[in-house]
Structure 1
Amino acid sequence: MPALSPKIKEKKAAKWSQAITPDLYAGESIWAFVNAARFKPATVATAITNARIIGFTHFGQTTDKRILLEVAGDQIRGLDFSTKGGLPHFRIQTDAGEVDFGSFDANEVDFARHYAEYLWHNGIDPIAQQAAMQQRQEAVAAAGVRNAWLRQRNAIPVFGTAMKDKWWDDISRHSRPEELPWFVINSGMEGRLVAFEDRLLISKKGFMSASLGGSRETIFLYSDITNIEYNSGFMNGVLEVLTPSYQGTANHDYWRSSGKSRNSASDDPRTLSNCLPLIKVTYREAQPMLNEVQQKIAASKRTQVIVHHASDSVQPAGPAPVTGLADELAKLADMHQRGILDDDEFKAAKGALIARMS
């Protein structure tokens, strides 16, 4: 257990330690907890480790949400515990300026000074320092990749309301390396439809999708989609992606389930993973792109016919059925008429057949 300042109880310190231990570097250990805290950013206490001084909260879900302030041991240039508003503040001087870790009780000043000065004068633990440098390099590299993606996103057509950074972040998580969406239909708080070259993504987050604190994100491969429908009233409508797993059963509108809770409304388009509530104006703007999606869906289901050219040195295993050129051409024409072969495939197959049988 780390050393505790006079105002911290062991039970509370155990909770803090459990919360931030996953955020520590390899070789980093907590020396002491100090009751210094502040409102903005909202920290609950300050930890002094063998590598840095940390202002943290135990409520966040990720490291960047838990560790809100930090100063590495080799960045400390001075300590200041002067009083402000009747209470001393735990301030660290750095080359980039002062970092205020918040106010705390006067009885804790000597305790905080002891551990902060020890870190300042003795430096960072070598193992923790190496791990910190590696983590910083990885963070810089990741930031570079993300920034490059953010710069390129400006070229992506967006239909509907303006996109927020957090929504772009959701899309980037579903993108392959160096992959950008083809276009985005944004219905704001209702969710988004994102088109890639081989798949669609419907992404919904928050209260409107009955996933408070979570999300509903569903991928639809073009080869699995049977149809895309849009059902509307005077102004509002619903875009629905149909697959063997998601069958359209009714005209999904906004008000049919208005008397039910989000999770109880089985036909509410806001909660259905394959539906996107969408105003008619936005649908019409995006309709040309959706027509191209329909073409990609059809192309993904088209039967591929491969014409093999037999080598002169290969002998048939047995007698082949006797058919004439006219019969074979008739078969190809029938396949073309039924849509199994498109125009280019039909021409190529016909040319190969005439060359082989001539």
Structure 2
Amino acid sequence: MTQLSPKVKEKNGAKWCAALAPDLLNGETIWALVSAGRMKPVTSGAAITNARIIGFWHNGESTDKRIVLEVMAHQIRGVDFPVKAGSTSMRVMTDQGEVNFGNLHKDEVGFAHYFIDYLWRNGVDPAVAHAIDQRHKSEVAAQLAEHDYLSKRESVKVFGGALKDKWWNDIRGHAHPGELPWFIINSGSAGRLVAFEDRLLISKTGGMTSLMAGSFGGGRETTFPYSDITNIEYNGGFANGVLEVLTPSYQGTGNHYYWRSTNKARNKASDDPWTLSNCLPLAKHIYREAQPTLNELHRKIMDAKRPQVVVHHAPADPSPAPAPAADAGLADELTRLAEMHQQGVLDDDEFKAAKKAAIARQS
């Protein structure tokens, strides 16, 4: 049964235990709760379990970052309750330095010292040891995976300035597990164009970017599957321009002007490239640098729109095939295939295979 310090009410104790329950390790139980709390990082109280000391935050709603501070039993090297300016704090010493769990009432000092000292001398409960070992392995695996991701991230082509970590995090939120973009065009405060293998993302998030996009504190993020893109245009002036992704939902409107809508609110400026979800204001020199890669992107878009021709070979039939009923049908089909080849819908290999199949059907 969890013991409560003299300054923890039973009602709060029950809430704290319920809030911490999902974060406890297998076999871990809460021995005691004290009101020790601090402002930075913010904590509501401290829990002493059969494995560790926890500084936690609980506001009755959020379930994020409940455990803010942690010292495992084997890390404890001492405990102190210094008094400064009339306030008593609970500080646990470790090999890496002291961990300040915040201020508590002087009447709680003896209570907290007893349970921390008991945990220090007895160590982690064997019932929890296996769970701690598994958590450690998971943490190591996660660190290795993160290191691998960051290493591979260095190989992504980035045109424009280097990306901030928060922008990488936004991009990562739109990627599949382990997926990295093919290339990125970074237009700074105007946003970013991110090219994955099968889709484009225009991201306008964070700070000045979201403010210019008419969504202060939030952002505009739009994904365009390659199969939906009809064209990518760059409408440039002397030094700046606009990169525009065209789809059936976003039709081209010619040049977008930076200053034409300066007298309008951001969300009312329908022709403002900073606001439009399919437009990225982009300096001309960055566009020139990225142009060869954008040409490769055009080829990927064409490949995504090209119909797949599947040729089925009929099994050999020992009986003689009847003569074709009408030679005109074969001629019409070959003419149609030739037109598709000329238009680029079928490449050379696909055209040869389709023509061979048509002749085989008519033979």
TM value normalised by structure 2: 0.78
Give the % identical residues. 61
CA deviation after TM superposition for structure 1 residue 120, in Å: 2.9
CA deviation after TM superposition for structure 1 residue 184, in Å: 0.9
Indicate the SS of the match to 2:307.
Answer: coil
The separation in 2 between residues aligned to 1:317 and 1:31, in whole angstroms, is: 89
Corresponding residue of 2:347: 342
Structure 1 residues 6 and 282, CA gap change in structure 2 (3 angstroms): farther
The separation in 1 between residues aligned to 2:89 and 2:316, in whole angstroms, is: 91
After superposition, the C-alpha distances for 1:83-142 in whole angstroms (9 at most, x for unaligned) are 456543312123444323234443332232133234334544555544343333222212
Corresponding residue of 1:190: 190
After superposition, the C-alpha distances for 1:195-247 in whole angstroms (9 at most, x for unaligned) are 12222122332351455565544332211111222334444433222223333
Report matched runs for 1:273-288 at 5 Å: 273-288=277-292
Corresponding residue of 1:169: 169
The separation in 1 between residues aligned to 2:126 and 2:31, in whole angstroms, is: 16
Indicate the SS of the match to 1:74.
Answer: helix
Indicate the SS of the match to 2:287.
Answer: helix
CA deviation after TM superposition for structure 1 residue 357, in Å: 8.4
CA deviation after TM superposition for structure 1 residue 19, in Å: 5.8
Corresponding residue of 1:120: 120
Indicate the SS of the match to 1:246.
Answer: coil
The separation in 1 between residues aligned to 2:52 and 2:362, in whole angstroms, is: 81
**Equivalent of 2:231, from 212, 227, 233?**
227
Q: Which runs of 5+ in 1 are unaligned?
A: none
Corresponding residue of 2:305: 301
Of 101-110 and 12-21, deviating more is: 12-21
The separation in 1 between residues aligned to 2:217 and 2:18, in whole angstroms, is: 22
Of 161-170 and 226-235, deviating more is: 226-235
Contact 1:204 1:217 in 2 (8 A): yes
Contact 1:54 1:67 in 2 (8 A): yes
The separation in 2 between residues aligned to 1:262 and 1:66, in whole angstroms, is: 38
Corresponding residue of 2:151: 151
Indicate the SS of the match to 1:313.
Answer: coil
CA deviation after TM superposition for structure 1 residue 157, in Å: 0.9
The separation in 2 between residues aligned to 1:287 and 1:356, in whole angstroms, is: 45
Indicate the SS of the match to 1:99.
Answer: strand
The separation in 1 between residues aligned to 2:48 and 2:102, in whole angstroms, is: 14
Corresponding residue of 2:92: 92
Corresponding residue of 1:247: 251
CA deviation after TM superposition for structure 1 residue 21, in Å: 4.8
Structure 1 residues 241 and 7, CA gap change in structure 2 (3 angstroms): farther
The separation in 2 between residues aligned to 1:133 and 1:154, in whole angstroms, is: 32
Report matched runs for 1:16-95 at 5 Å: 20-38=20-38, 40-58=40-58, 63=64, 65-84=65-84, 87-95=87-95
**Equivalent of 2:327, from 306, 310, 322?**
322
Structure 1 residues 188 and 129, CA gap change in structure 2 (3 angstroms): farther
Indicate the SS of the match to 2:168.
Answer: helix
The separation in 1 between residues aligned to 2:243 and 2:18, in whole angstroms, is: 45
Q: How many residues align?
A: 357
Contact 1:232 1:253 in 2 (8 A): no
TM value normalised by structure 1: 0.79
Contact 2:324 2:362 in 1 (8 A): no
The separation in 1 between residues aligned to 2:318 and 2:325, in whole angstroms, is: 14
Contact 1:34 1:45 in 2 (8 A): yes
